[in-house]
Amino acid sequence: MISVLAGGVGAARLLQGLVQVVNPKDVIVIANTADDVILHGLHVSPDIDTLTYTLAGVNNKETGWGREDETWLAMDSLKDLGRETWFRLGDRDLATHMYRTGRIAEGAGLAEVTAEISASFGLEMCFLPMTEDSVQTKVTLADGSEVGFQEYFVKLAHNVPISKIRLEGIGRSQPGPGVLDAIDQADVLVIAPSNPFASIDPILAIPGIESTVRSHRQKTVAISPIVGGTAIKGPAHRMFKELGHESSVVGVAHHYRNLASTLVIDKIDAELANAVEDEGLRCVVTETVMRDTKIAAALAKTALETVL
Amino acid sequence: MISVLAGGVGAARLLQGLVQVVNPKDVIVIANTADDVILHGLHVSPDIDTLTYTLAGVNNKETGWGREDETWLAMDSLKDLGRETWFRLGDRDLATHMYRTGRIAEGAGLAEVTAEISASFGLEMCFLPMTEDSVQTKVTLADGSEVGFQEYFVKLAHNVPISKIRLEGIGRSQPGPGVLDAIDQADVLVIAPSNPFASIDPILAIPGIESTVRSHRQKTVAISPIVGGTAIKGPAHRMFKELGHESSVVGVAHHYRNLASTLVIDKIDAELANAVEDEGLRCVVTETVMRDTKIAAALAKTALETVL
């Protein structure tokens, strides 16, 4: 059984590869929900949705988020009503949030609802929200103001310097159903090449999760989201720098040194392998830029083989 | 100033006529919200939406509800997710409910939000929800089971016998902002040709409203929703019979005898004018089937002239 700590796009690509080399039924995905947001009364889970849509093959390849074959009548009409619509919810995509919101209103937990949605999309792997509690990533901008993660990520296009990340509600949050077991019982625990600060750290920060991961350091392998000093997508490289770290695979190694026994880095960073190992992790060098599913499958296989 | 107690379609047609003969700025519509329903987390106000869309000229003429130029991707996707979709929310229409839900979540009252939406649609008349509290029409079916109004009206297509109507939450509800003043200060109070049981009675049942209307009986004129023993649209005629009343203009007169001093009936019912007057109301006979705006305008003018 393989468990994966996951954010959105980078994790989704890795999982597309992973299901080529292991049975999807043997995969448990522990997904970040600290980006979740209530918009217009609807519960939106951006990372879970990206994972679900991508694995189901219905993700929007043009936008990089949302569903394919999408239309925007609701958003256009909402804009006519004078509402902010920088977080674009397509008409098809809306159904997912309406389903989630309706089921939660009926008393279902986020884990149950997430399982229902992924099953409805025909997926066999198991998606677990990191928590069913409300945890909200808040970002302090360089000017001192604090904004919600989606405002930083989407509205501001993560194109502004930040000085701090805070996880509102984290102290009283609990791991979601099945999460600790999934970490405990996995043969391999993979930290996906997701944003360490915005996607992986929120998972780890839920009371009980980081200590459980640490106790399984030997079976844990991380894949660097930083390649050649930058992120394939998103602001991870900026965050490393702006939060006082080194934006390189060495910075990633330092960040994960107590959690993972192995870090997989890209060939472009091969010369930094020794520096990674100086952080106390085994370093494996391979192709990590997942241009297609074949590369993703090879990367997943390489990651698993560091442990199995 | 003209105030109108209103349900959905019938009232909307009358108002289309009314704004031909008076300045829309002089019209206040007190709208039934006991049909309001939370669907998939979204606050839907069917009567207010029907009034708004119809007066704005963007109502869907094919369906008789919702917006024109509509698409259904969200509903189709929600159905794929296994959700009940008998209450169809079009993609364009969804924006209205998202706006309402979002604003209420921000702390705005339903009256404020209703005013914002109608202003955004360019309407000059004032729409007041009857209450900002949750009042829910519940219908007892002949088999003894109780269902929400929309389940009766939409899912069951009001094609089943009923034995009782109950207004959940009515005891602790209060008139919405401006409602009592609108009744008090109107030069004419019109009871629109809406369903007396499903649309008008819920308004009257809010503590304080019926007594206020009664104290202004002389300036109050009702337009019969029953024409030739039947309703132009909807189940009003069935409800009269099933709830133990006479489905005729005489039944309407009996129902409104303490509230209105005048009942306007259709020419087809002219022979019942004396029986209406026997109930203690003045009876005015005219064309009430609003096939076009011209007829609606003439009807509105006739109704106003009974008082002014």
What CATH number did the domain enclosing B125 receive? 3.40.50.10680
> Please, what's the b/e burial string for B15-49 (b: 16 or more CB within 10 A of its CB; e: otherwise)?
bbbbbebbeeebbbbbbbbbbbbbbbbbbbbbbbb
Q: Are A263 and A283 in contact (CB under 8 A)?
A: yes
Q: Are B41 and A42 in contact (CB under 8 A)?
A: yes
Note the pLDDT of residue A233.
Answer: 87
ipTM: 0.92
Check whether residue A54 and residue A151 sit in a common domain: no
Domain extent at residue B9: 2-134+172-305
Query: Helix/strand/coil (H, E, C) string of chain B?
Result: CEEEEECCHHHHHHHHHHHHHCCHHHEEEEECCCCCEEECCEEECHHHHHHHHHHHCCECCCCCCCECCCCCHHHHHHHHCCCCCCCCCCHHHHHHHHHHHHHHHCCCCHHHHHHHHHHHCCCCCEEEECECCCCEEEEEECCCCEEEHHHHHHHCCCCCCEEEEEEECHHHCCECCCHHHHHHHCCEEEECCCCHHHHHHHHHHCCCHHHHHHCCHHHEEEECCEECCEECCCCHHHHHHHCCCCCCHHHHHHHHCCCCCEEEEEHHHHHHHHHHHHCCCEEEEECCCCCCHHHHHHHHHHHHHCCC
Which of A42, A76, A81 is closest, CB to CB, to B99?
A: A81
Give the pair of three-digit tokens for residue B130. 């009857």
pLDDT digit string (tens) for A44-56?
Answer: 999 999 999 999 9
**Residue B82 backbone zone (phi > 0: left; psi -120 to 50: alpha; other: beta):** left
Note the pLDDT of residue A236.
Answer: 93
pLDDT digit string (tens) for A253-304?
Answer: 999 999 999 999 999 999 999 999 999 999 999 999 999 999 999 999 999 9
Rg, chain A, Cα only: 18
Check whether residue A78 and residue A130 sit in a common domain: yes
Residue B55 in this model has a pLDDT that exceeds 90: yes
Rg, chain B, Cα only: 18
**A107: contact with B, CB 8 A cutoff:** no
What's the structural domain count of chain A?
2
Q: Are A196 and A224 in contact (CB under 8 A)?
A: no
Mutate to test the interface with A, among B73, B96, B120 (most CBs of A within 10 A): B73
d(CA A85, CA A70): 16
Shortest distance, CA A62 to any CA of chain B (angstroms): 19
Mean pLDDT in residue range B144-163: 95
Shortest distance, CA B87 to any CA of chain A (angstroms): 13
The pTM of the full predicted model, rounded to 2 decimals, is: 0.94
Q: B94 vs A94: CB contact, 8 Å cut-off?
A: yes
- For residue B19, what are the contacts with CB-CB under 8 A and spacing of at least 6? B27, B55, B125
Check whether residue A43 and residue A155 sit in a common domain: no
The single-letter DSSP state of residue A31 is E
Check whether residue A144 and residue A108 sit in a common domain: no
Helix axes A91-105, A73-80, angle to 10 degrees: 80
Name the residue among B245, B229, B235 with its Cα closest to residue B35.
B235
- For residue B72, what are the contacts with CB-CB under 8 A and spacing of at least 6? B88, B90, B91
Note the pLDDT of residue B233.
Answer: 87
**B142: contact with A, CB 8 A cutoff:** no
Check whether residue A75 and residue A224 sit in a common domain: yes
Check whether residue A205 and residue A247 sit in a common domain: yes
In single-letter form, the type of residue at position A151 comes to E
> By CA distance, what is A39's nearest residue in B?
B102
Element (H, E) at A263: strand A262-266
In single-letter form, the type of residue at position B236 comes to A
Check whether residue A231 and residue A293 sit in a common domain: yes
Mean pLDDT in residue range B46-54: 98
**B92: contact with A, CB 8 A cutoff:** yes
Q: B98 vs A42: CB contact, 8 Å cut-off?
A: yes
**B71: contact with A, CB 8 A cutoff:** yes
Name the residue among B205, B210, B129, B213 with its Cα closest to residue B171.
B205
Q: Residue B140 falls within a domain, yes or no? A: no
Q: A40 vs B98: CB contact, 8 Å cut-off?
A: yes
Q: Residue B142 falls within a domain, yes or no? A: no
Shortest distance, CA A58 to any CA of chain B (angstroms): 12
Residue with tokens 């009744």: B183
d(CA B14, CA B190): 10
Check whether residue A275 and residue A167 sit in a common domain: no
Q: B40 vs A117: CB contact, 8 Å cut-off?
A: no
Q: Residue B21 falls within a domain, yes or no? A: yes
Q: Are B68 and B83 in contact (CB under 8 A)?
A: no
Check whether residue A197 and residue A247 sit in a common domain: yes
Mean pLDDT in residue range B195-199: 97
Of the pLDDT bands very low, low, confident and very high (cuts 50, 70, 90), residue A62 is very high
User: Chain-centre distance of CA A190, in angstroms?
Assistant: 12
Q: Are A32 and A7 in contact (CB under 8 A)?
A: yes
d(CA A20, CA A8): 19
pLDDT digit string (tens) for B83-107?
Answer: 999 999 999 999 999 999 999 999 9
Q: Are A189 and A3 in contact (CB under 8 A)?
A: yes
pLDDT digit string (tens) for A195-233?
Answer: 999 999 999 999 999 999 999 999 999 999 999 999 988
Check whether residue A155 and residue A178 sit in a common domain: no
Check whether residue A150 and residue A252 sit in a common domain: no
DSSP string, A128-157: EES-SS--EEEEEETTS-EEEHHIIIIIST
Q: Residue B150 falls within a domain, yes or no? A: no
Residue B308 in this model has a pLDDT that exceeds 90: no
Residue A251 in this model has a pLDDT that exceeds 90: yes
Q: Are A75 and A89 in contact (CB under 8 A)?
A: yes
Of the pLDDT bands very low, low, confident and very high (cuts 50, 70, 90), residue A308 is confident
Shortest distance, CA B85 to any CA of chain A (angstroms): 11
Check whether residue A254 and residue A300 sit in a common domain: yes
Q: Residue B237 falls within a domain, yes or no? A: yes
